[in-house]
Amino acid sequence: MTTSHDTGKYKIKAFWGPRGETPEAIADRYIWMIEALLRADPVFTPWFFNDAKKVVPFDQVRATLPALIAKYVERDWMPEEGYRFGGMNSRKSNPRSIGIRGRAGNRLPEIGYSYNTVDLETVSSNICPTDASIVTYDLFRAAMVAIIQAWDVTWCMAYPTDLMDFWPRVAEGKRFRLAWMTYISPEFASLIPPPQDIEVQTGTRGGLLMVATRERFEVTNPGHMAAARAIDAVLAPLNALHWPPDPS
Q: Residue 89's pLDDT band (boundaries 50, 70, 90)? A: very high
What was the pLDDT predicted at 152?
Answer: 95
**Listed residue (154, 147, 163, 158) closest to 181, CA to CA:** 158
The average pLDDT across 182-203 equals 90
Contacts 24+ apart (CB under 8 A), 129-132: 129/8, 129/95, 130/8, 130/9, 130/10, 130/95, 131/95, 131/96, 132/216
Q: What is the pLDDT of residues 133-179, one digit of tens each?
A: 999 999 999 999 999 999 999 999 999 999 999 988 765 445 688 99
Exposure string for 16-39, b = 16+ CB within 10 A, e = fewer: bbbbebebeebbebbeebbbbbbe
The domain segmentation of the chain, as residue ranges, is 1-153, 174-241
pTM of the entire predicted model? 0.91
Cβ distance 85 to 101 under 8 Å? yes
The average pLDDT across 54-72 equals 88
